[in-house]
Structure 1
Amino acid sequence: MIVSPGGNQLPLAIVGGGPVGMTAAVALARQNIPVVVVEAEPVAKTDWRASTFHPPTLELLRELGVVDRMHAEGLAVPRYQFRDRRAGLVAEFDFGLLRDETSYPYRLQLNQQHLVRMLAGVLEDLPSADVRFGCRAVAVEPAEDSVTLTVETADGVERLRCAYLIGADGASSTVRSLLGIDFDGFTYPERFLIASTPVDIRELLPDIADVNYIADPEEWLFLLRTPESWRAVYPVPSGQTREQAVDLDEIQSHLQGIAPYAPGYPIEDFQLYNVHQRVASTFRQGNCLLIGDAAHINSPLGGVGLNSGIHDAMDLTRRLVRILRHGADPDAELDLFAEVRRRVAVEYVQADTRRNTERLNERDEAKRQAQHAEMRAIAGDVDRARAWCRRASLLESVHEFGIGKPPGGDGRARVGLPAGAPATGHRGS
């Protein structure tokens, strides 16, 4: 049978209950728009992979009522370093340079599963929200003015008719696959391994920052602190088997190579995963939309994948609210969403994360030294350093494109304000 939860108004269906899907769900349900979240996992996702929230993302999430809790549990990190395993510190950047542009001039380190938990708690108190765990999308049938989503649950098959379908179901998106949307790009030959340990690496390496990108032609490192632990990310050669890579002695050897620790590092968690640079050929097909990793995936070096996904969600939901509550033109709004968010994915997220990855892994010594000299020069010039931080934090992309700016609107929308509002004079609380 076909059901239409939410009374006479067709709901919006969101496939994927991770941080991006949950963000979209809360943004819609807070506007009393009925929404059904379909998540294949039996409980809220507990993936530790992403852990960085940039300034404009925090401004957006403030609208959803979770930022105070995020700060209570998270770690504010204004400074981060680019280092070299041989030469030590290359350059340090301070998001504090952005204090006149944002209420949050730092990165907030908080493992993404905590945001999912917080958003899921918000949804429990919103009558317009229906969250269904253990519910798998298996078919999509677009129509001119609606979409029918078929799902499988422990109780059988159900067909949900919805006004719009949002695919937020990750890199292996079922929605994207069912719609036949291409996902062009490439996969890096090496995989990345994340290992987490409670040992305070700052006590072993006192001059490092809480976030460090460490270049090396043989084994670069991404080393960062979260409230629970320190996390090390390093490349695994393509010729190494999964069994070899995740062997605890092998992981221990890599951690000891960062800083010797005689008692041995306790390893709380580890993940091995493939890394891609891919973008969907379109983020919109009729009333079906893609956001987050379902629309674009990238190297984690820069900490912008999750952030850009949340920006997708807020851009799209602002437009859907205008369509459903204020009679805005659906094609004008949604075509602009697809165009703008794809441009950001290509021109900012893909370009910067690929460049970051190549910079850390550069093997040509002359190029390495030239890169180091350029980064020192940028960090040593306040204006250039501020511009660097503005781009690295995604503030530049938000200032250029806005978040959910209406079609034909003038000026640059400022996050944390209604789309189209002037950017001047806002610092937040």
Structure 2
Amino acid sequence: MAALQRGLREGPVLVVGGGPVGMVAAASLARLGVPVVLIEAEDEPKTDWRASTFHAATLELLDELGVAEQMHAEGLRVPIYHFRDRVEGLVAEFDFSLLADETPYPYRLQLNQQHLVRMLHRRLRTTPGVELRFGCRVTGVRQRPGGGVTVALHTPDGPRELTGSHAIGADGAGSTVRNALGVEFTGFTYPERFLIASTSVDLSEALPGIAEVNYVADPREWLFLLRTPESWRAVWPVPAGQSEEEALAEETLQRQFQGVAPWPGGYPIIDRQLYRVHQRVAETFRVGDVTLIGDAAHINSPMGGVGLNSGIHDAVDLARRLARIAEGADADAELDTFADRRRRIAVEYVQADTQRNTDRLRETDEARRRASHAEMRAIAADPGRARAYMRRASLLESVRRFGIGLPPGRTPEHATSASSH
């Protein structure tokens, strides 16, 4: 109740962005008794199909929010994934069940991200202390001299301003919040674009023996094939010189899918998206009472399915700190710890691993390709190395190392030591 009272006196936390990361931030704050206003430019919850993987460490956090059971009812559990070569076939198989002694979720849960948004949106509509403002576009953010923030909005009724104790930018790669703060978004953009296309054809029939998640290396055209409850999805690179119209054309998609596996009668295409891929990290995740999470703070290649997951970890970490601040904890210490730890994780884990995964798939040097394949086979064949590899891939390693929202100066090792005394 102390958190709720403080929030009411000094203003709610303003969460900018109603995608999955912003929704998790709002739900986490509400669960901890912190009033929140969620601001989203779209009129309705986002229906983007792009991310669809939830890892073990993330499912542990979402279970605390009470949505994991519904996610499992609608999602697809995938304990095994393949690293394959387009010519050689299977290179290495990885089984997340090796982690069954460490997590109740030893698998990837495949569920398109808009379903999590839908679940949390329905809950937040009736949650006390939560205000949802859809159809409102943020046009500016400024720090207040005495502390707190003011957010300028363009609403259906004209310009408006909201004040709050803190603001959270969860508004994606082109973040208005980040730009308003003048924070650099350093890194690079891949020369090729990535295309996601979904089909109702069961690719396991067209390609017998594949797993439900497959990373397929090829020096000319690598692939990422995975199954979701609605469809099979393929991701491949689009040459820099190919127009968007041509890349998304039915003829092009049919040619691409038939190149993956012949299917008489053609592939029904139920979704298609073309997008730029970046490896970028904000120079800082915090300026005063404003913080950045998710794609507003870090964006990366989708190879590994960790971008959304890391953003959810950002959201829960920050919510726990804001709840402590509402109860009297040192705000600078908490928010600096958030910014330092989450940026370090973004650089050392998310950026490093997704770049390595992408380079492994598209390697053109034959000697390096063969060495990479040999290394993957060796990892998969050694239970100890395979376990370590999957702990990192599932983000369990980073959570066990740094924790989520632990107080400044505390790590999981400190917490374990304290609880044993």
> What range describes the TM-score normalised by the shorter chain of this pair?
over 0.9
Superposed CA offset, 1:207-254 (max 9, x none): 100000000000000000000000000000001111110111101110
Matched ranges for 1:44-63 at <5 A: 44-63=45-64
2:128 is aligned with 1:127: yes
SS at match of 1:268: strand
Q: Distance in 2 between matches of 1:423 and 1:304?
A: 31
The answer for the alignment partner of 1:64 in structure 2 is 65
- Structure 1 pair 7–103 and aligned structure 2 pair: CA distance change class (3 A): same
The one-letter code matched in structure 2 to 1:177 is N
Cα shift at 1:97: 0.5
Cα shift at 1:274: 0.1
Q: Distance in 1 between matches of 2:8 and 2:303?
A: 45
The answer for the alignment partner of 1:240 in structure 2 is 242
- Using the TM superposition, name which of 217-226 and 138-147 deviates more: 138-147
The answer for the alignment partner of 2:255 in structure 1 is 253
SS at match of 1:250: helix
2:384 is aligned with 1:387: no
Contact 1:145 1:163 in 2 (8 A): yes
Matched ranges for 1:344-363 at <5 A: 344-363=345-364
Q: Distance in 1 between matches of 2:356 and 2:159?
A: 45
The answer for the alignment partner of 1:210 in structure 2 is 212
- Structure 1 pair 317–351 and aligned structure 2 pair: CA distance change class (3 A): same
Q: Distance in 2 between matches of 1:31 and 1:411?
A: 21
Cα shift at 1:32: 2.3
Cα shift at 1:423: 11
Cα shift at 1:121: 1.1
Matched ranges for 1:135-174 at <5 A: 135-143=136-144, 144-174=146-176
Contact 1:402 1:412 in 2 (8 A): no
Superposed CA offset, 1:245-302 (max 9, x none): 0111101110111110011100000000000000000000000000000000000000
- When the two chains are superposed, the root-mean-square deviation of aligned CA atoms in Å is 1.5
2:336 is aligned with 1:335: yes
Q: Distance in 1 between matches of 2:417 and 2:254?
A: 52
What is the aligned residue count?
414
Cα shift at 1:7: 4.6
- Structure 1 pair 40–102 and aligned structure 2 pair: CA distance change class (3 A): same
Matched ranges for 1:8-157 at <5 A: 8-143=9-144, 144-157=146-159
Contact 1:79 1:93 in 2 (8 A): yes
Q: Distance in 2 between matches of 1:423 and 1:269?
A: 51
Cα shift at 1:139: 1.1
Contact 2:7 2:326 in 1 (8 A): no
The one-letter code matched in structure 2 to 1:298 is N
The one of 225, 231, 234 equivalent to 2:233 is 231
Contact 2:17 2:39 in 1 (8 A): yes
SS at match of 1:252: helix
**Unpaired stretches in structure 2, ≥5 consecutive residues:** 1-5
Cα shift at 1:204: 1.3
The answer for the alignment partner of 1:417 in structure 2 is none
- Using the TM superposition, name which of 399-408 and 165-174 deviates more: 399-408
The one-letter code matched in structure 2 to 1:40 is A
Contact 2:222 2:362 in 1 (8 A): yes
**Unpaired stretches in structure 1, ≥5 consecutive residues:** 414-419
Q: Distance in 1 between matches of 2:416 and 2:161?
A: 40
Q: Distance in 1 between matches of 2:418 and 2:301?
A: 31
Q: Distance in 1 between matches of 2:313 and 2:373?
A: 31
Higher fraction of helix: 2
Q: Distance in 1 between matches of 2:272 and 2:76?
A: 21
Superposed CA offset, 1:118-144 (max 9, x none): 010110121111011100000111124
SS at match of 2:269: coil
Q: Distance in 1 between matches of 2:119 and 2:136?
A: 21
Contact 2:200 2:268 in 1 (8 A): yes
- Structure 1 pair 87–295 and aligned structure 2 pair: CA distance change class (3 A): same
The one-letter code matched in structure 2 to 1:231 is R
Contact 1:9 1:34 in 2 (8 A): no
The one-letter code matched in structure 1 to 2:118 is R
The answer for the alignment partner of 2:193 in structure 1 is 191
Contact 1:6 1:128 in 2 (8 A): no
Cα shift at 1:205: 1.1
Cα shift at 1:8: 3.0
The one-letter code matched in structure 2 to 1:198 is S
- Structure 1 pair 260–332 and aligned structure 2 pair: CA distance change class (3 A): same
Q: Distance in 2 between matches of 1:314 and 1:9?
A: 22
The one-letter code matched in structure 1 to 2:223 is L
Cα shift at 1:424: 9.4
Superposed CA offset, 1:159-199 (max 9, x none): 11100000000000000011110000000000000000011
- Using the TM superposition, name which of 50-59 and 200-209 deviates more: 200-209
SS at match of 1:8: helix
The one-letter code matched in structure 1 to 2:125 is E
Give percent identity, aligned residues only: 66
Contact 2:403 2:411 in 1 (8 A): no
Q: Distance in 1 between matches of 2:392 and 2:386?
A: 10
Flag as ranges the 4+ runs of structure 1 deviating above 4 A: 420-425
The answer for the alignment partner of 1:416 in structure 2 is none
SS at match of 1:42: coil
2:295 is aligned with 1:263: no
SS at match of 2:9: coil
Q: Distance in 2 between matches of 1:165 and 1:9?
A: 13
The answer for the alignment partner of 2:283 in structure 1 is 281
The answer for the alignment partner of 2:3 in structure 1 is none
